[in-house]
Chains A and B, each alone.
Chain A
C-alpha cells in the first residue's frame, strides 16, 4: 500500500467503518470561479474526495449529462491552464484530495511529464484516465509516481478476471469499479452481478474499491455498503449545474449542490 493522500483518506474511513463519498464535478462549468466555489462548499459538507472532470471535445465514456457540461465549458473557451490555475488558488492540503478525470488526448498533447508536473503543482492527488487502458498506462504511472500522484485504474463489468488481475496491479490509490456496461449517467437499479464482482475483487486486492456510473441515491449506497469502500456520484450532481448557466443564482445552486452532497455524506458515513 502506498502512503498517498488518497490512501490516507480510505484508511481513516475504514477505521470508522464508513464509505467514501466522492462527488464528480466538471471543471469550468460554467466557469472556474463557480468550480472553485463549489469545491469549497463540497469540502465544508464533508465529502471525502472530489473527482474533477477536464472537459474534452470527444468524451466517448460519458453520457449526455456530463458531455453537455463539457460542451458548456468548452464553448466558453475553457483552457487546461485555467483549470490548473483555479485549483492552485485553493488550500488543497487542507481539503479533500482532488482526483483529475482527464482524457489521454489532453495529457498526450501537453506531454505526460509536463501535464503530471502541473497537476501535482496545482494540488491534485491522483489521475483517472478513462481512455488509457492499463495495458498502455505503464509510462504514465511511473511518471505520476515520481510526482506523488496515484493513477486510478478502472474495471468494467465486461472485464474478464485474468484481465482484472493485471489492472489491479497497475492501479494505485483505489480501484474505480464501473457498475454498468455503458456510459456515465443516472440509473435506477444496479445490476446483481455487481455484488458478485466486487466480492471477488475484494479477495484479490487490498486497494479500496470505489463504485461509479449510475449512482445517485442514498439507498444505492446501503446496497453497496457490504461490498464497496466508496461511491462516486457524477451525473446527478453535474445536472445541477445546468441551471447556473441559465440564470439560477450561484448562492442557490451552491446550497442545492451542498444539500445533495450532504445527503450522500450522511448515507456513506452511517
Chain B
C-alpha cells in the first residue's frame, strides 16, 4: 500500500477538454444532462476569463468567509510527536466552519451568470448543505438540499441551520439513505429541472466539469498555504496532508503543490473499523477502477459493479467513490493514500482538543491522526502542512455518545 514516491509524473495541466485526468474522469451521465454539462463548461470557461468574476469571488472570500485564514504552527502537537514541525491550515475558521464555502460561493456566482434561480445540492455530514444554504441565502436563490435520512438523524444541528437559512432539506429514503443516495436523488431532480436549476456538487466528483471546477474553487486553500509556508519558514513544506472522502479539501490543498516535486502529498481515507469490505471507506486503498455518479475513477464495488456499502465514524468521509484527479495522482505516484481507523481519528480528536485547544471535525481528525505518524517518522527540521478542513462542533453529540459521556 505504501508506495512512497517523492516526485511522480503527474502534471497540473489536467483535465483535457473531455474532462480526462489521465484515463480518469469524463462524463458518464444520461443524455438529458449532457447539454447542461456542456453549457456549464462553457460558462465556467467564460467566467475564468472574466476579471469581474474573480474580483467578486475574491471579495466574498475576504469579507464574507474571512480569508485568508491562518497557517498555524501547532507547537504543542509538534513537541508531542517529537519529529517534524506541524503547521495547520485553518479552514475550520471559515464562515460556516469548513472549507465547503469556498466552492459554493464560486458556483452560486456561476448560477447567477447562467440566469438560473434555483439551486440543488447533496450533503452527507451537512457541511456542504450548510455552505450551499448560506450562499443561496446571500444571493436570494431557492435551495433544496438532499440528505440521506440516516444523516438527517445524525446531523440535527446542520439540518436546523439549513432550514433557518431558508433551504428545504429533503430526506432521502432510497438505497443506503446516506451521501451516495443523496447524490442520486439530486441527479434525478436535476434531470427534470435542468432548465432552471444548477446542481452544486460539493466535492471533486461527478461528471466533467465538476471535478475540475470544484478543485479550482478549493485551490485557494493550497495557494494560501503554500505562500504562508514560504513566508513563515522561507521554504516549501516536505509533506502536505489532508483527508479524502470525495476529496475536495485535499484536491484544493494538493493542487497548487502538484508541480513542486519535492513536496510529498498524502491523502488520508477513512479506515473505519478495518479493511473488511463494508467496514471502511478507503476507496483508493481498496477500490477498483469503475464508474459511479457520472465519472470514471476508483470505486468500492462488488464483482458485478454494484456499489459497495461503506462505513466511517465521519459522515463526510462515508463515500464509496473518490474524485478522478485523486485516482490520477494515485496511479501516477504523485500522491500517496493511507487509511486511518475510526479509533485513531477519535483519539486524534481528543489529543488535538487537549494539546491545542482546537476541536477538529471528525473528517479532519483523520488527517491529524496520520500527521502524528508522519511527524514522528520525520526529522525535526522537516515541515508538515496539514489541512484542518473543518471544526468539530457538528460532531460533538456523536463523539459524546462514542465516549460514553453526556452533553450538558
Residues of A within 8 A of B (CB): 56-64, 67-68, 71, 74, 79-80, 103-110, 130-136, 153-160, 163, 167, 178, 180-183
B290 touches A105 (CB 8 A): yes
Which of B174, B192, B304, B306 is the one whose CB lies under 8 Å from A182?
B192
Closest B-chain residue to A110, C-beta based?
A: B305
Q: A106-B305, A108-B291 are in contact. Are A131 and B174 (CB under 8 A)?
A: no
Number of chain B residues whose Cβ lies closer than 8 Å to a Cβ of chain A? 35
* In the A-B complex, the 3 residue pairs with the closest CB atoms: A109-B305, A182-B192, A156-B32
B188 touches A133 (CB 8 A): no
Q: Mark B7-40, 1 if CB is under 8 A from A, else 0.
A: 0000000000010000000111111111110000
Q: A57-B307, A156-B31, A156-B32 are in contact. Are A181 and B175 (CB under 8 A)?
A: no
Pick from A60, A62, A79, A131 the residue with the most CB of B within 10 Å. A60
B191 touches A160 (CB 8 A): no
Which of A58, A156, A159, A183 is the one whose CB lies under 8 Å from B180?
A58
B31 touches A133 (CB 8 A): yes
- Residue B223 at the chain A interface, CB threshold 8 Å: no
- Residue B279 at the chain A interface, CB threshold 8 Å: no
B35 touches A155 (CB 8 A): no
B192 touches A183 (CB 8 A): yes
- Residue B277 at the chain A interface, CB threshold 8 Å: no
B29 touches A131 (CB 8 A): yes
A178 touches B32 (CB 8 A): yes
Q: Mark B268-294, 1 if CB is under 8 A from A, else 0.
A: 000000000000000000001011111
The 10 sampled A-B contact pairs (Cβ below 8 Å) are A58-B307, A59-B184, A104-B291, A105-B28, A106-B306, A109-B303, A130-B30, A131-B30, A134-B31, A182-B32
A60 touches B188 (CB 8 A): yes
- Residue B248 at the chain A interface, CB threshold 8 Å: no
Closest A-chain residue to B288, C-beta based?
A: A109
In the complex, how many angstroms separate the beta carbon of A228 from the nearest chain B beta carbon?
Answer: 17
Contacts of B386 in A (CB 8 A): none
Known pairs A67-B174, A104-B28, A156-B34. 6 more at Cβ < 8 A?
A56-B305, A58-B307, A60-B188, A131-B30, A135-B18, A136-B26
A108 touches B26 (CB 8 A): no
Residues of B within 8 A of A (CB): 18, 26-36, 174-175, 180, 184, 187-188, 191-192, 194-195, 288, 290-294, 296, 301, 303-307
Contacts of B195 in A (CB 8 A): 158, 181
Q: A181-B195, A183-B191 are in contact. Are A133 and B34 (CB under 8 A)?
A: yes
- Whole-angstrom distance between the alpha carbons of A264 and B299 in the complex? 41
In the complex, how many angstroms separate the beta carbon of B324 from the nearest chain A beta carbon?
Answer: 14
In the complex, how many angstroms separate the beta carbon of B7 from the nearest chain A beta carbon?
Answer: 31
Contacts of B288 in A (CB 8 A): 109
In the complex, how many angstroms separate the beta carbon of B208 from the nearest chain A beta carbon?
Answer: 11
- Whole-angstrom distance between the alpha carbons of A155 and B292 in the complex? 22
B305 touches A108 (CB 8 A): yes
- Whole-angstrom distance between the alpha carbons of A61 and B192 in the complex? 10
Which of A56, A154, A180 is the one whose CB lies under 8 Å from B30?
A154
Which of A67, A106, A107, A163 is the one whose CB lies under 8 Å from B34?
A163
Contacts of B174 in A (CB 8 A): 64, 67-68, 71
Contacts of B293 in A (CB 8 A): 58, 60
B291 touches A105 (CB 8 A): yes
In the complex, how many angstroms separate the beta carbon of A212 from the nearest chain B beta carbon?
Answer: 12
A136 touches B28 (CB 8 A): yes
Which of B187, B290, B294 is the one whose CB lies under 8 Å from A109?
B290
Contacts of B26 in A (CB 8 A): 136
